[in-house]
């Protein structure tokens, strides 16, 4: 299986700097699989457009950040006097992550026809 983007594309064209070279292939592979799922396998390994490569890079960054994030991102509400914090629950955090993944994919691939599910 070929990843939709490689590290050279990530650092050169996409101008990414979040993921290190040693970790990039792992996250690009996960991103490629998620994109394949949403595009119904329509992307051929020989004809990968820039939109698909950019989507792969942004999605790989998102997945990397999710795996390496601090808990302060999960704070739902906070109170300062006698400090208190409420955190997002596991299911809610999962839903937020899924929405972000769909948003990234839609942003890059909506106008390509790759997300078309067919006529009703």
The DSSP string of 26-77 is HHHHHHHHHHHHHTTT---TT---HHHHHHHHHHHHHHHHHHT--GGGGEEE
Q: What is the pLDDT of residue 80?
A: 66
pLDDT mean over 85-101: 80
Q: Which domain holds residue 41?
A: 7-112
The answer to the question of residue 1 being in a domain is: no
Mean pLDDT, rounded, for 92-104: 90
Quick one: pLDDT at residue 10?
Answer: 97
Residue 118 lies in a domain: no
Read off the pTM. 0.82
Is residue 57 situated within a structural domain? yes
Query: Residue 43: inside a domain, yes or no?
Result: yes
Domain count of the fold of the chain: 1
On whether residue 86 sits in a domain, the answer given is: yes
- Above 80 in pLDDT, residue 90? no
Q: Would you say residue 2 lies in a domain?
A: no
Highest mean pLDDT, choosing among 12-16, 78-82, 88-92, 114-118: 12-16
Domain membership of residue 22 (yes or no) is yes
Is residue 117 in some structural domain?
A: no
């Amino acid at each position: 299986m070929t990843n939709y983007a490689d590290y050279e594309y990530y650092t050169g064209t996409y101008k990414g700097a979040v993921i290190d070279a040693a970790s990039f292939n792992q996250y690009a592979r996960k991103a490629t699989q998620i994109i394949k799922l949403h595009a119904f396998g329509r992307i051929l390994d020989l004809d990968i457009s820039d939109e698909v490569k950019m989507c792969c890079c942004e999605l790989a960054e998102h997945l990397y950040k999710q795996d390496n994030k601090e808990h302060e991102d999960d704070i739902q509400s906070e109170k300062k006097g006698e400090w208190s914090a409420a955190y997002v629950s596991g299911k809610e955090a999962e839903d937020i992550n899924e929405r972000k993944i769909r948003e990234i994919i839609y942003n890059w691939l909506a106008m390509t026809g790759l997300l078309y599910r067919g006529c009703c």
